[in-house]
Each structure stands twice: as structure tokens, then as C-alpha cells.
Amino acid sequence: MYSKTTALILSAAAALCLCGCSGLYNKEYLSVNEYEITEQESYISSDKITVRNFNGLKQAILRFAYAGETEGRVVFDSSYEGDLLEDMASACWQVRTQDALCAYCVENIAYELTKIVTTNEANVYINYSSFCESADNIIHLPFSYGIESRLEEALENRDRNLVVLVSSSSYSAEDIEMLLTKIYRENPTLVPREPQASVTMYSGTGSQRLYEISINYGLTSEELEQRMAALQAIDAFSNVDISSLDEYQRALMACQYLIDNCSLTDNDSDNTAYAALVNHQANSEGMAFAYVELCRQLDLDCYIVYGQLFWEDYCWNIVKVDGSYYHVDASECIRSGLEGSFLKNDEGFWGNYRWDVASYPKCTGESLYRNSGQ
């Protein structure tokens, strides 16, 4: 059941917009305004909430849901105006469908109206979906810019599921999936192979979003941990005094390591840093990922490039050396030596290679290997 501990962390204010779901009450509204509760509209006393208008009624039901209550009692103030039956049906429906967390967790809201002497009251009953048992782990963010770090943490911990509630986000479910891919490609040793994300998004009022994210690593938990241990054990330069080397020497050392220790394959499955560094064979994507990791160990900025070679999909790297960016094709260096594909600028690389120049840093330095040799 939805946890009270998590619920209390949430803001009491909730914003509401109509979703196209089926439920207890199905009525169209021309406009629904964002609303924050005020003391003039409802107040809490012991085990019940007194409400003075329709907005206060919605907020009262939201309070119960956010607190994880299965039951709650609403007292209608004597000054309340409106049709109680219609308002209760409408409020339950809007809460159920117009708040992202409720859309995710709440399965059904029912109510029972009674009159005690001259006072109208309603008992509210809330059923929660069974998959909300882990709601204590829901991540709450005010804005979407915090999602990337949370996804990176999930990969570091090899988490397979997480739920993120964002008060204001413009990300679609597809954006979250692409963001996970971006994180992996920038950190190719976080996990031994590229994870696949499945994202279900629940919308609330305005830009409120809840993302239910499932991550598939394509491995059992045991396999995943075994491969991570092998990958993390790779310390290619443990006996090297990195501080004594300039950036050119470090970039060269990383490439030479792959030349000396890896062979090329055309297998689609050999597309990871794990394939290159642990199994010692990889395709161009795997070699490029391995070069990113080796450069990281040598304190160099390095990126993987997705482009084409001879009009075929292909990967290589861009590395920063002495303030300038250069192309490095470690796979071609293995095939043909360093001279043609190590530390080249855009002009020297363009021709057989194609890439989206707007997506990567411009490589404008002088081609270093040809000028200075090893």
C-alpha cells in the first residue's frame, strides 16, 4: 500500500488537470485552474477535514491520498454551496485522474454521504494499486534537470526499477529512455552492456509528471555482478605515473593499449567496453567505448562519435588534448597503424568519415601524430 512516510514528504498543494481515463465520474470541464489550499476554504480538526467549497473538497481528498490513508472523513461547513452528490463524484474523479501520483497509485476512490443532525459528512474510501507497495522509494524532484543524476545513480546501483515524481517537467517517456542511453554512452563502464529502458508516464496538472522506469540489463543479477567485478578490476595504467605524462602521451598510451591488447570483430554483440577490455575483442563501438574508459583513467576528456565510415554505421572518438579536440579511430589504428587515424582534425578526417558536426566538438587543432610522431 502507498506509504504514509513518503506521502508526508510531498507538498500538500496539488495541481489538477483532466486526463482521459475511465472512472467513477465522467464529465467534461471547459477549464480547470491550478489551486492551492487556503485556511478560508478548509481546516483540519482531529480525524476529519472541514471544507467550505469544491476546491477545498478536492484538496481534502488529495490529503488523504498523499498521506496513504485508506479512509478519511470530510465535514461540509454550513456555508458550503453546491450539490454534495455531484461535487463528491466530481472531486473523487478529478483527484483520481488529475494528479500524477494518484494516477499511478490510486486504484479507486469511493465515498458515502451521511447527515448527522444538521451537518453533512462524507466518508471517503481509497484503494491503492498493489504495485505501490514500494512507494517509499519514489524519488521526488521539483524540476526535470535532476532526473539525469538520479538515472546515473540507478545504473551505478544496477537498479532495475525506479519511480520519479517531478513537479515540473517537459520530458516525455521517450525523452527519459533517450536520457538513459546518453548517460550510458558517456559512462560506458557504469554497466557491462547498454541498458534498455521502458518508461510509463503519468501526467498531472500543468507539467507535473510521474515516470515509472524499468531498466533491462539483458543479464541476470548474478551475471551482471560478475561482469561488473571483471570490468571494475581493469586498471590498465596502475604502474604508470600519469602526472609525468603530457596529454598527448596519455592519449597515445590509451590507443596503444588497445592496439596491443584487443582484436577487431564485426559481431554486433561485441559493442561494449566489457567486450574490448575483458574479452579483448570488440567492434568499432566497443573499441570506442573502451577508449573513453582508458582516457578517463588517464584524466582526459573523451567522447564516442556515432557516424559512418564508407557509408556504413561506425564509431570512433573525439579526445581533448592541450585545449584542442581531435579525432581518434582506435579500430583503424589496430588495422592500419596510428598515422592515418590518431589525433586528426576535422579537415584531415572528413572524406571517408561522416558525422553530425553539430552534435560534437569541432576538431580544429593541427594533426599531432603526423607532425610529432611517437
Predicted local confidence at residue 135, as pLDDT: 56
In the 8-state DSSP scheme, what is residue 366? P
Nearest to 211 by CA among 242, 180, 181, 233: 180
User: What is the arithmetic mean of pLDDT over 215-225?
Assistant: 96
The greatest distance separating any two alpha carbons of the chain, rounded to the nearest whole angstrom, comes to: 96
* Band of residue 326 on the pLDDT scale cut at 50, 70, 90: very high
What are the structural domains, with CATH classification, of the chain? Answer: 4-132 (no CATH), 138-219 (3.30.110), 234-372 (3.10.620.30)
Tens-place pLDDT, residues 244-295: 999 999 999 999 999 999 999 999 999 999 999 999 999 999 999 999 999 9
pLDDT of the residue at 29: 28
Work out the average pLDDT over 28-55.
56
324: pLDDT confidence band, cut at 50, 70 and 90?
A: very high
pLDDT, tens digit (0-9, with 9 covering 90-100), for 199-212? 999 998 889 999 99
Report the pLDDT value the prediction gives residue 25, as an integer from 0 to 100.
Answer: 28
Please give the pLDDT value at position 137.
Answer: 75
Query: Which grid cell sits at 271?
Result: 559493442
pLDDT at 52 over 60: yes
Question: What does the pLDDT read at residue 33?
Answer: 34
- Res. 2: pLDDT tops 90: no
The pLDDT value given to residue 41? 46
Angle at 205 between CA 5 and CA 85, to 5 degrees: 85
pLDDT at 117 over 90: no
Q: Residue 1, exposed/middle/buried by CB under 10 A (0-12, 13-18, 19+)?
A: middle
Across the range 21-42, mean pLDDT stands at 34
Q: Tens digits of per-residue pLDDT, 334-373?
A: 999 999 899 999 998 988 999 999 999 999 988 777 554 4
pLDDT per residue as tens digits for the range 171-195: 999 999 999 999 999 999 999 999 9
Q: What is the pTM of this model?
A: 0.78
pLDDT in tens, 157-175: 999 999 999 999 999 999 9
- For Cα atoms 209, 39, 166, give the angle at the middle one, nearest 5 degrees: 10
Percent of the residues in the chain that have a pLDDT greater than 70, as a whole number: 85
Say what the pLDDT of residue 327 is: 97
> Helices (H), strands (E): how many in the chain?
13, 16
- Position 134 confidence tier, pLDDT thresholds 50, 70, 90: low
Mean pLDDT of 118-133: 88
Rounded to 5 degrees, φ, ψ at 45 are -140, 115
Contact in structure between 115 and 121 (CB atoms under 8 Å): yes
Residue 138 has a pLDDT of 86
